[in-house]
């Protein structure tokens, strides 16, 4: 903070609340870890007797995690389950990622990463490793379409929803989900909603608002206007929602593979990692 900067009262309240949550999470985590009652699972974990499972923990902020850990019954074991490579929620903090980096609790990775599966099954693991593999012409579970402009992308998305996906895979309406990282712009959420208004059931969703959504067919859009905001986490979150088929429609050029290859995280940082290390 620059010298002479004036911070409003509500900003001080927010900072104090964040600091309280950071300290609370660190205290709870250290206590549970010392007693061997805390573990991290990357992926989904089934319910188990006497185990408190916090699902989708990568989407929860510091205050939510603190409140949950403080309510854990005595002697109960706790599992924080989620995917630290996916986009976090809107609240401050990246608790799951901090715990993995800390190394003070057991971590099990249950996310599938098959070597001999379909292109769609192999793709999430490749993206986590920073690789965007070229499409396999013999495997139609993943199809990539390169466009020269964002308005061309919209026409291609409509063609996929109206013809290609129903004809090849027999999927229509609510079975199809269209994902974009932009709210506005020629291939943003608003423009895509307008273009797809004649196809009932098909949804247009912002990548940051996907949460735990799933669909049999997903059209993941990466407009040229989004080139500066693309990250590995955003691309990863856009593709893992597909069940049977993924169509990637991009006008971002080299910015798309570059974003996947870049391991750096564009997100707010908190003191939790330092508190655990200390």
Neighbours of 36 (CB within 10 A): 10
Structure token digits, residue 228: 């500066």
Neighbours of 34 (CB within 10 A): 10
Closest residue by Cα to residue 147 from 196, 199, 187: 187
Model confidence, pTM: 0.89
d(CA 216, CA 211): 16
Whether the CB-CB separation of 171 and 269 falls below 8 Å is answered with no
Question: How does 221-257 read in b/e, with b if 16+ C-beta sit within 10 Å?
Answer: bbbbbbbeebbbbbbbbbbbbbebbbbbbbbbeebbb
pLDDT at residue 12, as a whole number: 43
Question: How does 75-87 read in b/e, with b if 16+ C-beta sit within 10 Å?
Answer: eebbbbbbbbbbb
**Longest CA–CA separation in the chain, Å:** 64
pLDDT at residue 4, as a whole number: 42
pLDDT at residue 211, as a whole number: 82
Spell out the domains of the chain, with CATH numbers in brackets.
Answer: 9-112+265-277 (no CATH), 131-261 (3.40.50.300)
Report the length, in residues, of the chain: 278
d(CA 26, CA 30): 6
Residue by residue, pLDDT tens for the chain (278 residues) are 344 444 445 544 555 788 889 999 999 999 999 999 999 999 987 766 678 888 899 999 999 999 999 988 888 999 999 999 999 888 888 899 999 999 999 999 999 888 889 999 999 999 999 999 998 999 999 999 999 999 999 999 999 999 999 999 999 999 999 999 999 999 999 999 999 999 999 998 999 999 888 999 999 999 999 999 999 999 999 999 999 999 999 999 999 999 999 977 655 567 888 899 87
pLDDT at residue 10, as a whole number: 54
H or E stretch including 217? strand 215-222
Strands (E) in 64-214, as ranges, are 77-82, 107-109, 142-146, 176-180, 203-206
Neighbours of 209 (CB within 10 A): 12
Residues whose CB is less than 8 angstroms from the CB of residue 191 and which lie 6 or more positions away in sequence, other chains included: 154, 184, 185
Residue 86 has, within 13 A of its CA and on its CB side, a CA count of: 27
- Return left, alpha or beta for 144; rule: phi > 0 is left, psi -120 to 50 is alpha, else beta: beta
């Amino acid at each position: 903070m620059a010298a002479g900067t004036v911070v409003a009262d509500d900003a001080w309240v927010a900072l104090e609340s964040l600091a309280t949550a950071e300290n609370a999470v660190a205290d709870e985590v250290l206590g549970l870890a010392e007693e061997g009652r805390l573990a991290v699972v990357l992926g989904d974990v089934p319910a188990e007797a006497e185990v408190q499972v916090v699902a989708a923990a990568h989407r929860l902020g510091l205050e939510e995690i603190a409140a949950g850990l403080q309510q854990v019954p005595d002697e109960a074991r706790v599992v924080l389950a989620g995917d630290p490579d996916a986009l976090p929620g809107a609240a401050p903090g990246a608790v799951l990622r901090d715990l993995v980096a800390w190394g003070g609790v057991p971590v099990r990775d249950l996310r599938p990463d098959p070597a001999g599966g379909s292109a769609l099954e192999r793709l999430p693991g490749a993206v986590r490793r920073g690789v965007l593999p070229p499409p396999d012409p013999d495997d139609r579970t993943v199809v990539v379409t390169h466009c020269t402009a964002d308005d061309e992308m919209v026409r291609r998305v409509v063609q996929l929803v109206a013809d290609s996906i129903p004809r090849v895979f027999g999927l229509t309406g609510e079975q199809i989900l269209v994902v974009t990282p932009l709210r506005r712009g020629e291939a943003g959420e608003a423009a895509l909603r307008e273009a797809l208004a004649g196809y009932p059931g098909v949804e247009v969703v912002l990548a940051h608002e996907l949460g735990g959504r799933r669909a049999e067919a997903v059209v993941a859009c990466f407009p040229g206007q989004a080139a500066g905001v693309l990250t590995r986490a955003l691309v990863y979150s856009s593709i893992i929602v597909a069940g049977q088929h993924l169509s990637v429609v991009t006008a971002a050029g080299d910015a798309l593979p570059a974003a996947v290859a870049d391991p750096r995280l564009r997100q707010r940082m908190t003191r939790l990692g330092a508190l655990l290390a200390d």
